Amino acid sequence: MPHKNYNTKPLKCFVCEKSLQVIDIEYNNRVNLPVCNTCSGSAAEVDKEKELLEGLADGFVCGCI
């Protein structure tokens, strides 16, 4: 069965915020956000990835202890 994309929101690179076409989309494996071919594998992508992951658990308290 073919996959249909019902996402009507325009996709943007999470690093440079450039609009992406459906055929240009590549996703960062760690943050699962779209990234353009220019930013893919760049130092800017690594910096933005670290920035997003640093604040991920701020204020999170585990209830298992």
pLDDT tens per residue across span 19-50: 888 776 789 998 889 999 899 999 999 999 99
pLDDT higher than 80, residue 62: no
> Across the chain, what does the average pLDDT equal?
80
Strands 34-35 and 26-27: antiparallel
Calculated CA dihedral for residues 17, 15, 20, 22, nearest 10 degrees: -140
pTM of the entire predicted model: 0.67
Assign 8 to helix, strand or coil. coil
